[in-house]
Amino acid sequence: MTTRRDFLAAWSRSAALCALAPLPFAQFGPAARVGGGGIRVHTGGSAPFERFPFELGVASGEPAADGVVLWTRLLDLPGDPGAGFPVRWEVAADDGFSRVVRRGEAAALAELGHSVHVEVEGLEPGRDYWYRFHAAGATSPVGRTRTAPAPGTLPDRFDFVFVSCQHYERGWYTGFRHMAAESPALVIHLGDYIYESGPGTRDDLVRRHDTEEPRTLDGYRARYALYKRDPDLQAAHAAAPWVFTPDDHEVDNDWAGQHHTEEMSREAFLARRTAAFQALYENFPLRRTSLPTGPDAQLYRRLDFGSLMRLHVLDTRQYRTLQPCGGRRQPPCAEQHAEGATILGARQADWLLDGLDSSPARYNVLANQVFMARLLEGEDELTLAMDKWDGYPADRDRLMTFLHERRPSNPVVLTGDLHTNWVNDLKLDFERADSPTVGTEFAGTSISSSGDGVDTGPQGDNAMGHNPHIKFFNAQRGYVRCRLSPARLRTDFRVMPYVTRPDAPIATRASYVVENGTPGAQET
């Protein structure tokens, strides 16, 4: 089992490797030993890679006002599989790299899946930059990134998108291509980036997983490599910085804390979670603060975008108690209200309320994985989804009461998971239609999960009939585009007619706005 000490040692070796191997571009070659601690690094020669090493593309993320995290991961390494590879990186103020403003060296280490995470600092706030990597005579694709607005500033406009749920087998990633073409300032991904199932057997699959269900580090690494080879996904990563938070399928369907749905022991599941979290870190532009410690990782975090937006990134899997009432969809039951039942955990819940209470931002946006509003559905017997916030009403009631009493500025929740689009008023008391509205939830559909969708249908009619706080439902595939200004947040639900065939067109199905100072969304 990998420990935090192992990870930090890997980072130390990375720094030492770069210090020992300040080589010019295109001069890395056959494996050699470098003195001073026995670090193995490939040096000399011209091109040791048999194939293009940047096959998984490039990415950036976690934008701050003065910097970002740059990422890549090398594949098809020759020679000693335990050796590290020096990697050069550049950041430029123009896409032609005539004005390089930062450059340096990093190391792609075997302990971290030969991934590279560069935390660049010293950049200017609120502007575009371009970046690339060099290794073994090869140059990566160019990525575009953007720093956050300066603290205390109130930009006239900030465009971002949010997205989730990209089952590889169920559809093409055309939505990512459209997203990249819109050049947002930020992409927020709300989880289910990979799916952990083995190869599917349905007749309508457009492509198939190439390995059995992953349970080991090598298995998860291979699954990420499969997904990341998709050119449309690579284009979306290269188009803008990302902020990512996982849901369940990055580990195991419907997992909850130390509970799981597989026939395995608790110890075996924690070993699986350890492998999944390490692979997750290796495949995203995350900061060192998110390095896993065995089966644990610090994934809830907060990012500020001037005084326009504070982004509260939630983790609704790692600290939750077991889903009540048998899980899945069930009638309401007493177990929902059991003492200690939680979806956030006490520490994260306190952190969230403290961050909302102290926020200087005009808009407080919560990046949240699962449906927060009440969602009663059914005919003769009404049921709730116990894997969502409905299964943990104490945490939701505490948050809704806080929003009502403390009134942080413009709370907006962004949600993934359900493979459908929704607009919800968040209520102080969901049992009363006339209860005060304290915030807004925008739930976005999937990129490809569930295959081709439909515009509307019985599910939406049933849900809206039982839940008067729900204002909009749509079941097509796509993403949500957000245009934020000091006066309002506008959301455009961007949808496609199909994903089981490539090259689908995209259009805006509906648009809603949240006006500054007025909780709840209105169609526009």
Q: Per residue in 276-315, pLDDT tens?
A: 999 999 999 999 999 999 999 999 999 999 999 999 999 9
Residue 158's nearest CA partner among 284, 307, 355, 274 is 307
Mean pLDDT across the chain, nearest whole number? 91
Mean pLDDT value across residues 131-160: 97
Q: Per residue in 46-63, pLDDT tens?
A: 445 678 999 999 999 999
pLDDT at 505 over 60: yes
Residue whose token pair is 């070796």? 13
Residue 71's nearest CA partner among 148, 173, 141, 149 is 141
Share of the chain above pLDDT 90, in %: 86
CA–CA separation, 17 vs 9, rounded Å?
12
CA–CA separation, 141 vs 131, rounded Å?
9
Q: Are strands 411-415 and 186-189 parallel, antiparallel or unpaired?
A: unpaired
CA–CA separation, 516 vs 409, rounded Å?
8
Q: Is 439 or 13 the better-scoring residue by pLDDT?
A: 439
Half-sphere exposure of 163 (CA within 13 A, CB side): 30
CA–CA separation, 164 vs 185, rounded Å?
17
pLDDT at 407 over 70: yes
pLDDT at 131 over 90: yes
pLDDT, residue 20, reads 35
Q: Per residue in 157-215, pLDDT tens?
A: 999 999 999 999 999 999 999 999 999 999 999 999 999 999 999 999 999 999 999 99
Work out the pLDDT band at 271, boundaries 50, 70, 90: very high
CATH number of 4-145: 2.60.40.380
pLDDT, residue 24, reads 34
Share of the chain above pLDDT 70, in %: 90
- Please check whether the two domains, 4-145 and 154-287+295-523, share a CATH topology: no
In the chain, the amino acid numbered 106 is: A
pLDDT at 5 over 90: no
Residue 69's nearest CA partner among 138, 6, 148, 180 is 148
Instruction: Give the CATH superfamily of 154-287+295-523.
Output: Alkaline phosphatase D (PhoD) (3.60.21.70)
CA–CA separation, 44 vs 26, rounded Å?
9
> Cβ neighbours of residue 95 under 8 Å, at least 6 residues apart?
130, 142, 144
Contact 244, 193 (CB under 8 A): yes
Spell 203-236 as b/e; 16+ CB within 10 A means b: eebeeebeeeebbebebbbbbbbbbbebebbbbb
CA–CA separation, 84 vs 11, rounded Å?
12
pLDDT at 354 over 70: yes
Annotated domain spans of the chain: 4-145, 154-287+295-523
Q: Count of residues for the chain? A: 524
Residue 395's nearest CA partner among 343, 437, 439, 446 is 343
pLDDT, residue 458, reads 85
Helix or strand (DSSP H, E) at 236: helix 231-239
pLDDT, residue 412, reads 98
pLDDT, residue 233, reads 98
pLDDT, residue 79, reads 67
Contact 475, 453 (CB under 8 A): yes
Residue 83's nearest CA partner among 148, 28, 162 is 28
CA–CA separation, 20 vs 37, rounded Å?
10
Q: Is 39 or 251 the better-scoring residue by pLDDT?
A: 251
Lowest mean pLDDT of 9-13, 26-30, 418-422, name the range: 26-30
CA–CA separation, 309 vs 149, rounded Å?
10
Rg (C-alpha) for the chain, rounded Å, is 23
pLDDT at 76 over 80: no
